[in-house]
Amino acid sequence: MTTTTYPTDLDQLNETVGFVRAQDTATLLPLLLPGLDALELRALMDRCRFSHAALLVFPSSTEALRALLADSGLPPDATARPSVVVRDRLAARHGCDPAELDVRILRPRVSGSDRTVEVFALLVPPGSDLTDLAEHERSRDHEAHLALEVEQSDPLVLRGLCALLTRHGAAADGGGYNPHEDGTVLYFTAPADSKTGYRRLELYVPGEHPDVLAAHLARYRAGRPAESLLRLLTGAWTTQALAVSAELGLPDALDTDTALGAPKLARAVGADPDTLVSLLRYLAMLDVVSADGDGYRLTETGALLRTDVPASMRPLALLYGGPFYRSFAALGHTVRTGETAFDHLHGENHFDHFARDPELAALFDESMAASSRMFDPLPTHPVVTAAARASAPATVVDVAGGNGELLGRLLAAHPGLKGVLLERPHAVEAARRALDAAGHGDRCGYVAGDFADVPAGGDVYLLSRILHDWDDDRCREILRHCARAMAAHADLLVVERILPADDSPSLATAWDLHMRCNVGGRERRADHYARLFADAGLTLVDTSPLPLDATVLHVRKAGAPLPSQAARPSGA
């Protein structure tokens, strides 16, 4: 039997400290990327610096970790924090429970330099079941890497750096955003001809850069097609895990600061303890909860599923994981026939189906209200702002405005505005109660009816995510009702997700499939909407973006004078 001897943690740490002390950005980059020319080297040196080298060690205790740092000449009092990323990577590699892995992260500074050693420490007490895991990791050194810190948090610069690294043989190897440090990490495998001895490279940039990160992860997954396809195939599991956690009240039972153990949590939400742990592991992988030795905490993402937060997305989780989840299972029927799967399953459209069930009707209205909160810039849209500055009180008419969430936000932002809400009778009563409670009742009127009842007298009319519910003929009918009610000076603001003309990735593409399957509507391109407006005697003046790939389409009556430049949307 052959026995393999691995370097001790102290040997590895001393070697890493020596490397960090000996190298700087100018000497490291030619070793890391041997093919760099002088201009490329200068471009990298101007935009990033060598910040640290990292390794994973396996001390038996916190005291042993301090002694290890001291023996290698590093400050033994460096602050240790839980390392979620490395803990989860280890758990995934070895098929174990993340909660069983006590992984710490420290960044002690190397004397005589401005660089650090990033020490990941998995505590492995004597006789621990983790001994084999530690031997495996020591032999393969998976977590060892070098890090370059980008000094300009400009997405254009970051894309250029990624392209330069890729051109010289570095390959995307995962990454993520750390909300605790407000930093984005992009991992690469080092080029095959790299002379540093390190197989992985980290590019760290302050701030959140979702577009750059998404493109980087797409390149990473493109090199792993089977894994990418498997992640896509199991997407339904994610929907259900989030919906079930919301249904159980798990986010409300958890805290963002204080950890709660699984047994106590199971009692609080009425769940089987073992199965709940399985769900929590999955939610931790999704960054909805975080786990450590003390139990589970709610993350910033998971907190959006609480019932007591202003922007709660809990109703959306219950809607997408409930009624719409079931009808989406009949997507094949929609694709084969063009018919709406929801109607096929229930014998009626979702509006009528929900209206007959008070709980479903309330859930739908709450979901639409939650979505309204995501479009924060709309209350300060230039057309609304210009109307609020009018000498006489201006009136905003919210057509099919649900429970009044959006109208209430507009009235709160502009005390000089008046509002009118047009909705079904049950929704009008819910909106009246909500707007009265918010202190807007004396500035708001209500019309119980349908689209044929759009009232005259408004200065600004709103159609927020209404047209995508319907086919073209019904959209023309709705728009004609609006045009008939609008005076020559009035503006119509249509909020929708617009399909990109070049078919680039967009939330609108996903929502188009959802609308066809579950609602009977569809998303459209801007020129498609322009034709619908023209058919109704209206003209598209301009568009301006909103969050989550939404757009405001600014519309006026055909032949009406264009608004002044001050009242036009930004970007006009």
Residue 295: count of CB within 10 angstroms of its CB: 19
468 has catalytic annotation: yes
Nearest of 528, 548, 549 to residue 540 by alpha carbon:
528
Strands 145-150 and 48-57: antiparallel
Supply 454's token pair. Answer: 């759009």
Q: Map residue 462 onto helix, strand or coil.
A: strand
Strands 116-122 and 103-106: antiparallel
> d(Cα 68, Cα 17) in Å, to the nearest integer?
12
Crossing angle of helices 210-222 and 155-167, in 10° steps, is 20
Supply 130's token pair. Answer: 């983790």
Q: Map residue 422 onto helix, strand or coil.
A: strand
Torsion 266-271-276-280 (CA) sign: negative
Q: Which residue has the tokens 């189906």?
A: 353
- E strand segments, 135-264: 145-150, 171-178, 183-189, 200-206
> d(Cα 86, Cα 124) in Å, to the nearest integer?
15
Q: With residue 406 as reference, give the H or E element that holds it.
A: helix 405-413
Nearest of 398, 397, 404, 395 to residue 426 by alpha carbon:
404
Catalytic one among 468, 481, 514, 554? 468
Say if CB 520 and CB 340 are below 8 A apart. Answer: yes
DSSP state of 271: -
Burial class (CB in 10 A: 0-12, 13-18, 19+), 307: exposed
Give catalytic residue positions. 468
